[in-house]
């Protein structure tokens, strides 16, 4: 017997959904199956969480109401739970999946032109200019949080391989740094931070005028200073750089799994606000090909 016939019988007679709800659930599944054919996903057991998120985002992008998207996800979840319970699939790709919320709007981001304008403000002719240039370029090149930027030590920057190591109490991730940021960072480090030290020494990477580790508050003031200098009419925050980084990667072809890995999101559903397409390229290749300043 056809799976859809079995499933139709299940939701009507066992799950006892109302006729209208049953019809909506079946219509939703048929629409999803049409999307899978378009994406050339031939087998139902090949559907992943990423596939479903990308589908939901395509609905959101086309203007479908959040309430309708939530119902469609409920339809898809019910279908895959049925498939799992009847041994048609081995894993449920809808597990812990959240539908896009209408109230969770994409935060304000900078355009690429605004980024270029802002990053051109620091003049690397002295300590402050060189430090600020390196910080802002690194912020946009990596999408790091301000807390991660100020916590960096000299040993976290791998000059020979253009990588930065981000450490916290739970894990460590290593992400690439684009060419433009790497040049600014290398110049700053070789001029003001390495001296006779070894690269792996645990010394603060970014210092204030007192020779101490730069604080979050100090970083915010630096961004505000250059925002005013560039005459950009937006309230720019360090986190806006993170959002801009993610959106610009997606717009230039990066897949959602790559952006998730770089940003350090534990669940890909957290990244879904930025993503509308995915592919399976390697992280380093995607970053190099997608980031505007790589």
Q: Which sequence spans correspond to the domains of the chain? A: 3-85, 112-290
CB atoms within 10 A of CB 53: 24
Quick one: what percent of the chain has pLDDT higher than 70? 85
Q: Is the pLDDT reported for residue 47 higher than 60?
A: yes
pLDDT of 248: 81
d(CA 84, CA 80): 6
pLDDT band at 31 (very low <50, low <70, confident <90, very high): very high
Contact 68, 61 (CB under 8 A): no
Q: Is the pLDDT reported for residue 182 higher than 70?
A: yes
- Which range, of 118-132, 202-216, 231-245, 260-274, averages the lowest pLDDT? 260-274
d(CA 224, CA 3): 59
Region 118-131 average pLDDT: 95
3-85 CATH: 1.10.150.130
Residues in contact with 278: Cβ distance below 8 Å, sequence separation at least 6, in sequence order: 50, 54, 255, 256, 257
d(CA 61, CA 170): 35
112-290 CATH: 1.10.443.10
Mean pLDDT of all residues in the chain? Answer: 84
Higher pLDDT, 293 or 140: 140
pLDDT of 279: 33
Burial class (CB in 10 A: 0-12, 13-18, 19+), 198: exposed
d(CA 138, CA 211): 20
DSSP E strands, the chain: 157-158, 163-167, 172-176
Decide: pTM greater than 0.75: no
């Amino acid at each position: 017997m056809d799976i859809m016939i079995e499933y139709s019988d299940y939701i009507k007679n066992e799950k006892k959904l109302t006729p209208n709800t049953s019809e909506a659930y079946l219509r939703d599944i048929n629409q999803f199956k049409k999307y899978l054919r378009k994406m050339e996903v031939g087998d139902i057991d090949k559907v992943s969480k990423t596939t479903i998120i990308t589908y939901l985002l395509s609905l959101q992008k086309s203007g479908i109401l959040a309430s309708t998207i939530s119902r469609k996800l409920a339809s898809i979840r019910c279908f895959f739970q049925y498939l799992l319970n009847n041994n048609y699939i081995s894993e449920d790709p809808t597990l812990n999946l959240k539908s896009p919320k209408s109230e969770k709007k994409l935060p304000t981001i900078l355009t690429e032109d605004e980024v270029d304008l802002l990053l051109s403000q620091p003049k690397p002719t002295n300590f402050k200019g060189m430090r600020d240039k390196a910080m802002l370029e690194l912020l946009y090149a990596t999408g790091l949080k301000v807390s991660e930027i100020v916590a960096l030590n000299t040993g976290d920057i791998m000059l020979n391989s253009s990588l930065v190591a981000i450490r916290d109490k739970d894990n460590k991730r290593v992400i690439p740094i684009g060419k433009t940021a790497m040049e600014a960072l290398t110049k700053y480090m070789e001029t003001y931070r390495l001296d006779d030290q070894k690269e792996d020494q645990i010394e603060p990477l970014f210092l204030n005028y007192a020779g101490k580790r730069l604080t979050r508050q100090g970083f915010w003031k630096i961004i505000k200073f250059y925002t005013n200098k560039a005459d950009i009419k937006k309230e720019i925050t360090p986190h806006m750089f993170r959002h801009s980084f993610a959106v610009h990667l997606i717009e230039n072809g990066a897949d959602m799994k790559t952006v998730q890995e770089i940003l350090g999101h534990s669940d890909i559903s957290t990244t879904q606000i930025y993503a509308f397409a995915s592919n399976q390229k390697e992280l380093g290749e995607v970053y190099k090909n997608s980031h505007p300043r790589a």
